[in-house]
Amino acid sequence: MSTPQSHVPLWVLVTLQGAVSGVSLVVEIVAGRMLAPYVGMSLYTWTAVIAVVLAGFSVGHWWGGHVAGRPAKKALAYTGWVLLAAAISTASALLLLRVIGGPVLVAVEHPVWGIVILTFGVFFLPSLFAGVPAPVLAQIAVAQEHVPSGRSLGAMFAAGAVGAIAGTLLAGFVFIPWLGTTLTLAIVTAIYLVAAALLFWLARPFRQVAVASTVSVLAIALAALSVTRPAGCTTESQYFCIRVLDVTAEYGVPVKRLVLDHLSHGTSARDLPRTMFSEFTAMFDAIGRGRLGAEPFSAFFIGGGTFSVPRAWADRDTGPITVAEIDPRVTETAVRDFWLDRERMKILDEDARVALRRRPDQRYDVIVGDAFGDIAAPPHLVTQEFFQLVRSRLTEEGVFLMNVVDFPERLAALGAIAATLQSVFASVEIWTEERLPTPGEQRVFVLVAADKPTAFSAVTAAAPDPARFAAMAESFTDRLIAKAAPALLTDDYAPIDRLLGGHF
């Protein structure tokens, strides 16, 4: 036969479909990691990524449907050119994100819209180009005379699904944690280039312009990937882009700051283990030790970060310390760069809720919750069910401390969490720095929950300069809780992202 359809084995089309589908899903997963240093990792980030990628696929499928109506050789060649465009847009994604990331987030005041626009600007085109091949390849598979059309169509759909599953698993479990973002994008780019070359070959005879263009795209892709790195990550883990910044002051005491994705998660000084460098750690330290007194006490920390408070309490020899830090790479970073002596405490590489549930016989005098971000917080760590678990792991005189970041003009998240805590604990206090908020400020609060109120209402602590922290008036707390209740945060419904991120 002379028709090109009869010369394209079904397994070749199936392999192409699976490969393109797989790498397109790799890009979708990598998109979340790439965006995290700019906008964090939240429900809004993943919603924007999924929506933009699906939009790109949809438009690409529509475009590919029109291409599929052409003669087979022309359709294959055209799709080869599209995959060259996919290779270029994928290879340049890191560079494009670095160029437009800052300006977009500065120009767009609303954080959620900023996430959506930035995601669209970087990841729509790679998804658009990746969506074109599917209808073209399916049309050629169905049109082949020696293979039943139903079998061919089913095989192509199955290849797309299997490729997507494989791409998702490889991205999350292999590529990102073991290879990093840049090398992962290099692999995706290479697969697009190989697929484009194969399509040109299937549409033979080769044209010299196709060969030259493929080589040119390879050169451009290598150049784009070589000059960019994912926002200066010191380490890329399964969970975070981890950055360590040297913020040593002029007097020479080594000081470093830990940034996870786009947020600072702590600062520590080598020679000053008891010095706090942020308001919430200063409050954790002062309120916790103030309530528990001079006698030894046991402590459980939800989240490690720089391990600032655990390190300070270990230096003071306050008693046994347990820290649940879900990311072992964060712990490794704290040991390597933040002078943590892990022999002074027990460190669990587990989610804090899982760690507490697995140890029903353990009781602690203080549990400290340090897992909050700006417009993102782990929903399973702010629910009534979790607070009940926390209460069951405290001693009779035990206290639970947790930090919350919210906007003073709204306080929707703070009120909801406080109301939920009050449904479990007899006493709930809201502590913050004793100063008026500035317009638009994200304010740091510490919630103190126990069966009895704190015996003192204010403390002065260094953060690192001396600052005064106080409990909000009981009448203010009651009004805030009354406004939020009875809609409590539960495992079934905990819209913490919406409460923190505001409304459209």
CATH of the domain at 433: 3.40.50.150
Does residue 360 surpass a pLDDT of 50?
yes
The pLDDT of residue 76 is 94
In this structure, are residues 299 and 365 in contact, taking their beta carbons and an 8 Å threshold? yes
Chain CA centroid to CA 217, Å: 31
88 and 171 share one domain: yes
25 and 164 share one domain: yes
Closest CA to 191 of 442, 19, 311, 14: 19
Does residue 67 surpass a pLDDT of 80?
yes
The domain of 77 spans 4-232
- Is 406 within the bounds of a domain? yes
351 and 226 share one domain: no
Which residues, listed in sequence order, are joined to residue 269 by a DSSP beta bridge?
A: 255
The pLDDT of residue 94 is 86
In this structure, are residues 3 and 142 in contact, taking their beta carbons and an 8 Å threshold? no
The pLDDT of residue 4 is 42
Question: At 81, which CATH number?
Answer: 1.20.1250
- Is 184 within the bounds of a domain? yes
The pLDDT of residue 237 is 80
291 and 144 share one domain: no
Return phi, psi of residue 6, to 5°: -75, -10
The pLDDT of residue 365 is 98
- Is 374 within the bounds of a domain? yes
When pLDDT is averaged across residues 30-42 and rounded to a whole number, the result is: 82
Does residue 206 surpass a pLDDT of 70?
no
The pLDDT of residue 122 is 95
Does residue 5 surpass a pLDDT of 60?
no
305 and 179 share one domain: no
What is the C-alpha separation between 79 and 350, in angstroms, rounded?
46
Query: Where a domain ends, among 179, 201, 232?
Result: 232
287 and 228 share one domain: no
The pLDDT of residue 297 is 97
When pLDDT is averaged across residues 75-85 and rounded to a whole number, the result is: 93
Question: Which of 109-113, 350-354, 367-371 is the least confident region?
Answer: 109-113
Give, in order, the Cα–Cα distances in Å from 355 to each of 239, 383, 481.
18, 16, 29
Token pair for residue 41?
């990792």
What is the C-alpha separation between 323 and 345, in angstroms, rounded?
8
What is the C-alpha separation between 303 and 451, in angstroms, rounded?
24
- Is 201 within the bounds of a domain? yes
Its sign, for the CA torsion 17, 20, 23, 28, is negative
The pLDDT of residue 336 is 95
When pLDDT is averaged across residues 106-134 and rounded to a whole number, the result is: 93
Question: Which of 198-212, 389-403, 427-441 is the least confident region?
Answer: 198-212
224 and 364 share one domain: no
Query: Where a domain ends, among 214, 232, 250?
Result: 232
Q: Give this prediction's pTM.
A: 0.80
Split at pLDDT 50, 70, 90, the class of 449 is very high
The pLDDT of residue 105 is 87
Does residue 107 surpass a pLDDT of 80?
yes
Residue of higher predicted confidence among 62 and 35: 62
Does residue 17 surpass a pLDDT of 60?
yes
99 and 170 share one domain: yes
286 and 224 share one domain: no
Split at pLDDT 50, 70, 90, the class of 414 is very high
The pLDDT of residue 440 is 75
What is the C-alpha separation between 291 and 268, in angstroms, rounded?
24
Does residue 53 surpass a pLDDT of 60?
yes
Does residue 101 surpass a pLDDT of 50?
yes
pLDDT digits (tens, 9 = 90+) for 375-410: 567 888 999 999 999 999 999 999 999 999 888 888
- pLDDT over 70 for what percent of the chain? 92
92 and 225 share one domain: yes
Split at pLDDT 50, 70, 90, the class of 353 is very high
Give, in order, the Cα–Cα distances in Å from 330 to each of 35, 150, 202, 304, 305.
19, 51, 48, 8, 6
- Is 329 within the bounds of a domain? yes
| 273 cis-preceded (ω within 30 degrees of 0) | no
Query: Where a domain ends, among 211, 232, 253?
Result: 232
- Is 265 within the bounds of a domain? no
221 and 290 share one domain: no
Closest CA to 82 of 204, 213, 222: 213
Split at pLDDT 50, 70, 90, the class of 230 is low
The pLDDT of residue 374 is 60
Return phi, psi of residue 74, to 5°: -65, -40
Work out how many domains the chain is built from and give that number.
Answer: 2
- Is 246 within the bounds of a domain? no
Q: Reduced to 3 states, what is the DSSP secondary structure of residue 76?
A: helix
- Is 189 within the bounds of a domain? yes
53 and 202 share one domain: yes
The pLDDT of residue 433 is 94
Question: Which of 57-66, 140-149, 324-333, 454-463 is the least confident region?
Answer: 140-149
